[in-house]
Structure formats: structure tokens, C-alpha cells
Amino acid sequence: MTIGIPKMGKEKKSGQSKQVVDEKVPLLPSKQEEDVGFDEFDGASFTGAVFNLSTTIVGAGIMALPATMKVLGLVLGIAMIIFVALLTEASIEMLLRFSRAGNTTSYGGVMGDAFGKCGRIFLQICVLVNNIGVLIVYMIIIGDVLSGTTSSGIHHAGVLEGWFGESWWNGRTFVLLITTLFVFAPLACLKRIDSLKFTSALSVALAVVFLVVTVGITVTKLINGSISMPRLLPDVTDFTSFLNLFTAVPVLVTAYICHYNVHSIDNELEDNTQIKAVVRSSLALCSTVYVMTSLFGFLLFGDETLDDVLSNFDADLGIPYGSLLNDVVRVSYAAHLMLVFPIVFYPLRLNLDGLFFPSARPLASDNLRFVLISSGLLTLIFIGANFIPSIWDAFQFTGATAAVCLGFIFPAAITLRDCHGIATKKDKILCIFMIALAVFSNVVAIYSDAYALFKKNGSSSQ
């Protein structure tokens, strides 16, 4: 069950020492009060909160962003990254405003306040779909990096395969199994999100390492004159290519989804008046990383950019120490994803527990249920990562369904419902625009993907 503490949740937090819920930062408020455990804890710092939220945002989505530049062109692609960041900031601000107005301490609480029990349950289902999809993407990328991948009949060797040659122990399934047992499982056992602030800081540092090395490689090749001018605008030649532009939207939406963790971080902040600054700082940091990664990744590989740009770093870069730099880029980002994994896994476990065990005692005090839910989810994610072929496929599904609901449709619907009479006319106009844009673009994206799939199957059968 996902917990909430109605009495505590209504109190304003300040910079003073306070008690914070041990293990449950609720996406659903609980009807139980007597069994909730507490832990003496002075509250999370501003820096720790920024790192945790930034880690939630900068996950696997960054690896698919250079491929969106291949679809949209640099100018439109970078403009869309900034535009989606601004919409994300607006949607989170709405969630926080209605949380304060309704004295709720969770995303589920806000949905319940606006739409009742059905709204809370629908939110939980979307969090499950989105987070399972995202974590499967993480595992797919880690498998691509360490064990290699095959795209369009071309094999891109993994780091372990390049170092030691092809062997049973560096095959994809075995590598992901070891990673799950000895990296993901221990980190997933932590019960408070602030406990992950140091791994979050390290994960952000590793993402910066990836970015710095990528920029360095691209600048070196620009100086050498070995990089051609990239495509600035999309290549639209017919109606099908126009529809294909919308396939980038789910990827961009997924890249900014962090709404399910905002309340978790807010609840643990030492001074929760800082949450808006935390959100803006995190979005500014992540948008900068996204723009630079998209720009330099697409500059480096052009139209040869793969869905997972890390897979491009297996070829000769044509610069000194190119092989070493390839390995640094891939290993640093694989390690980053390993450390991001528990941040996304945290709300996933809470929501699954709340969906299936709404009347049970808190998960923190039931070790058997905690272990069973955690191990079951890890097993499901492991199986999915071994059967889904591409991160683009996973992003298309989660981005066009659960992610767009969590990021834009739900916050906009809550504002339009306006249970507390605090929404302005400007808010409502923005919300109508967000819902219309989200529904239209994702319906077109799904249609375009389905059309491309049927066309591919039809041509292969002839």
C-alpha cells in the first residue's frame, strides 16, 4: 500500500528538524495511521533534492534524443526539447499548487482529490506501465553497451566482447542477470529516497562525463574537418514522412517524465518551500544536458545515428585514443543507468503495493511482502529487457500512453477540474492546449508506427 499520513501531511514543513515517513513517499494516501513507521531524519537538502530529481529525469531518454534530431533536424529538434521542458515545468507547478490547496502529499492524493478512487487507480496503473517500460529500456541499453546489439543486420560489439572476445559469460542474458543480482537488487532494497542522494550525485557526474567526452570527440573531428554539415530541418517529402515527425514526440515526452517522484522529494525536503526552485534547477540542468547531447551526438554520427546512440560508439572514431574514448563513453553511461535504476524503481514498487494491497500494513514493516514485490518486479523487467529488441519500440509504447498521461494529461485534467477554485483563465487555456497537443501528437505517432510496421511486414512477405 502506498502510504499517506493525513495529519502530518497537512502540516507545513519548515527548516526545523522533523519526522519523515520512513519508507513510503505516497502516491496514494493511506487510510491507515496507526501502523506507519517513522525514522528520525532532519530532511533532505536542496542539493540532494536537485540530484534526485535530475537523476529521475536524465535516464535512458537522453540516448534516444540524437535519433530524434535525425527525424526532426537540429533546429526543430532543439526547439522541441526546450518547449517540452517548459511544458513540464508548467505541469509540475500545477500539481504542486493543487497539492497545497488540497492538503495532499502525493500525486495520487491530488488525483483522488479531483477524480476520486478511480483517478488514483488509473494513476497507479500509468506509473506501473511507464516505470516498467523505462526500466526495461535501462536494461536494454546496459545490455547493448556491455554485450553488443545488432541493427539492420550489422552487429555492434559490446564493451566486454571488445575486451575479451565473444564468450558465454559476456552474452546479453548472463550479463543482465549478474547486473540484476549484484547491482539492481541491493540498490532496490533501500527504503527512503534520500538514501539514494549519493548514488544520484554520482550518476549525474557520470552523465556529465559522457557528455564532456562526446563534446570533446565532436569538437576534435570538427577541427579535423571530418564532420559534414548536419541536417537543420526535417526531410519531409511526402505525407508518410510528415507523419514520421510525430514519432519523436513520445521520446521527448518520456525524456522529461519525473512527476511521480516530485512529491516524494518534496515530502523529504528540509524546507519544502524550495521545491519549485528544485524543479526549475533540475529542468534547467537536464535541458542543457539534453540539448548538448542531441547537438553533438547528431553532429558526430549524422544520419547514421542509431536509436540508442551508445551503440554508435563501437566504430573507429578516426581520432587518437578513439577506442579508449569509445569505452569511456559507453561504460560511464551504463554505470549512470545502473545508479538511476533504483530512483525509478522506488515509486514503481510503492504503486504496485498500493494497487494490490491497499488495506495491508505499510510495506516497511512487512519484509516478506517487500522482498516478494521487489523480486517480482526485477524478474519482470529482466524478462522484458531480453525480449524487447529496441529502446525506440519501448519509448514509443510508454511515451505515447502512460508517460503522456503522467506528464501532461493528468495535471491538465486536475487543473480543469479545479476543485478548489484556484485555476486562472490562463491556466485553463494552457491545459486545453496541453491535452489537445498530447492526444493529437501521440495518436498520430501511434498511427505512423503502425503504418510503418504494416508496410514493413507487407514488403517482407512479398
**Residue predicted with more confidence, 356 or 16:** 356
Query: Which helix (H) or strand (E) element contains residue 66?
Result: helix 61-72
Has residue 401 got a pLDDT over 50?
A: yes
Average pLDDT rounded to a whole number, residues 406-430? 93
- How far is it, in rounded angstroms, from Cα 344 to Cα 296? 27
The Cα 286–Cα 281 span in angstroms is 9
pLDDT band at 389 (very low <50, low <70, confident <90, very high): low
pLDDT score of 190 more than 70: yes
> What is the average pLDDT score of the chain?
80
pLDDT at residue 452, rounded to an integer: 65
For the cut 90, the answer to whether the pLDDT of residue 393 exceeds it is: no
Residue 60 lies in a domain: yes
Which three cell numbers mark 439? 492526444
Q: Please tell me the predicted confidence (pLDDT) of residue 20.
A: 44
Distance CA 169, CA 453 (A): 34
pLDDT digits (tens, 9 = 90+) for 279-321: 999 999 999 989 998 888 888 888 888 777 877 787 777 788 7
Q: What is the pLDDT of residues 210-223, one digit of tens each?
A: 888 888 888 888 88
- 320 within domain boundaries: yes
Dump pLDDT digits (tens) for 91-128.
999 999 999 998 888 888 899 899 998 999 999 898 89
Please name which of 365, 439, 410, 396 lies closest in space to residue 27, comparing C-alpha atoms.
410
Question: Based on the structure, what is the number of domains in the chain?
Answer: 1
Sequence length of the chain is 462
Q: Is residue 259 part of a domain?
A: yes
Domain enclosing residue 427, as ranges: 6-461
Asked whether residue 1 is assigned to any structural domain, the reply reads no
- Does a structural domain hold residue 447? yes
CB 284 within 8 A of CB 207: no
Question: Among 167-176, 273-282, 445-454, which range has the highest average pLDDT?
Answer: 273-282
Task: Please report which confidence band the pLDDT of residue 380 belongs to, taking 50, 70 and 90 as the band edges.
Answer: very high
Q: Give the per-residue pLDDT at 395.
A: 65
Task: For residues 388 and 398, give the distance between their C-alpha atoms in angstroms, rounded to a whole number.
Answer: 13
Burial class (CB in 10 A: 0-12, 13-18, 19+), 434: buried
CATH label of the domain that carries residue 456: 1.20.1740.10
Model pLDDT, residue 282: 93
Residue 256 within a domain: yes
For residue 345, give the amino acid letter: F
Of the chain, the percentage scoring pLDDT greater than 90 comes to: 22
Average pLDDT over residues 267-275: 83
Q: Which helix (H) or strand (E) holds 240?
A: helix 239-244
Structure confidence at residue 58 (pLDDT): 79
Q: Is residue 203 part of a domain?
A: yes
Q: Is residue 41 part of a domain?
A: yes
